[in-house]
Amino acid sequence: MSIAAQIDDLSFTHPGTDLPALERVSLTIPAGESVALLGPSGAGKTTLLALLDGRLRGWSGRVSVLGAPLDPDQPPPRVRRPDSGFVFQEFALVERSTVLRNVLNGRLGRMPPLRALLGSPTAHDLEIARAALADCGIGDLAGRRVDSLSGGQRQRVAIARCLAQEPRLILADEPVSSLDPARAGEILSLLTGAARARGATALFSSHQPDLARRFAQRIIGIRGGRIVFDVPTPELNEAATADLYRETEPMPGTGLRAVS
């Protein structure tokens, strides 16, 4: 079995804060699976995903993504960045550009620098972008400006941009938190389905256990920056989930309550 991401004894504290966002995390994400990162707000889900995307500096431990080690002190080499695609919680689209432009932005890391600067896609780039749009069910929106779209449509554009990148690992940060339950199911089905069709690994975060159960083969529970459980979906029991979301108790040794 090959491995998409390997994490050993990872700790990270956001600059300017005292409490670690991630503490002694060790994980193995097998390649080709859809994995859910489940946990309450502030558990460290976004931090872990951003770290795997190579965007955080100053952590300790060992992390390798798609077979290459990450350096805690400098960003990964630019040629490797397109291999991991990121779907941002707030879409992170260029609002004033068209849908097609936004999806082609996912190709920029795959183009030679001058071509990327000029923004002149090859026929191959266009073909990939159009296929991604079609997969996301928004082929007919290609010419529309993003600021004229609904939230669900925007999330589809964001996923299409990620797919156009041809990533081998798809990291999605709460991809459905802003959508109603029906839309949320559609989007997660789209995301995990597209990953499976491409042989890519999908790691998505969520705070909704039912969605994680429906769309992930493996579920990792995270709370207070620590891994609470890491199990194949069928083995996840109610007690573990309930414990993940229990009321915050006084933090030992600090005399403080996180929720007062």
Partner 1 sequence: MRFREFGGYATSALIAGAILWSFATANVELSRLMSAGPRIADFLGRMFPPDPTVMAEIKKGSAETLRIAILGTLGAVILSIPLGILASETMVARAVFRPVRTLLAFIRAIPLILVAMLMVGAVGLGPLPGIIAVAFHATGMLAKFYAEAIDGVSRAPIAALESAGAGPLVRLRHAIWPQMAPVVARDTIFRFELNLRESLILGIVGAGGIGFYIQTYVRSFQYDKAASVTVAVVVMVIAIEAINVAMRRRFT
We find the least distance from the C-beta atom of residue 118 to partner 1, in angstroms, to be 8
191-210 core/surface letters (b: 16 or more CB in 10 A; e: else):
bbebbeebebbbbbbbbbbe
Residue 95 touches partner 1, criterion: CB under 8 A: yes
Residue 88 near partner 1 by CB under 8 A: yes
**Which structure tokens are listed for 42?**
């502030």
Q: Does 94 help bind partner 1 (rule: CB under 8 A)?
A: yes
Task: List the Cα angle 21/211/11 in 5-degree steps.
Answer: 15
CB of 214 to partner 1, least distance (A): 27
Q: Considering the rule CB under 8 A, would residue 45 count as an interface residue with partner 1? A: no
Left, alpha or beta for 24 (phi > 0: left; psi -120 to 50: alpha)? Answer: left
Count of other CB atoms within 10 angstroms of residue 237: 11
Q: Which is nearer to partner 1, 24 or 145 (CB)?
A: 145
Alpha-carbon 153 to chain mean position: 18
User: x/- contact string, 120-139, with partner 1 (CB under 8 A)?
Assistant: --------------------
Q: Is 91 in the site for partner 1 (CB under 8 A)?
A: yes
Nearer to partner 1, 12 or 88 (CB): 88
Q: Indicate the DSSP class of residue 98.
A: B
Note whether 85 binds partner 1 by CB under 8 A: yes
Only segment of 64-72, 109-117, 149-157, 183-191 that touches partner 1 (CB under 8 A): 109-117
Question: 154 vs 223, which CB is nearer to partner 1?
Answer: 154
What is the DSSP secondary-structure string of 103-154? Answer: HHHTTGGGS-HHHHHHT---HHHHHHHHHHHHHTT-GGGTTSBGGGS-HHHH
Retrieve residue 148's tokens: 């004229």
* Closer Cβ to partner 1, 51 or 211, answer by number: 51
Residue 97 vs 208, nearer CB to partner 1? 97
Piece in contact with partner 1 (CB under 8 A), picked from 32-40, 76-84, 197-205, 232-240? 76-84
Distance of alpha carbon 154 from alpha carbon 98, whole angstroms: 11
Residues of the shown chain interacting with partner 1 in the complex, contacts defined by CB under 8 A: 53-55, 78-82, 84-86, 88, 90-97, 101, 105-106, 108-110, 113, 116-117, 119, 161, 165
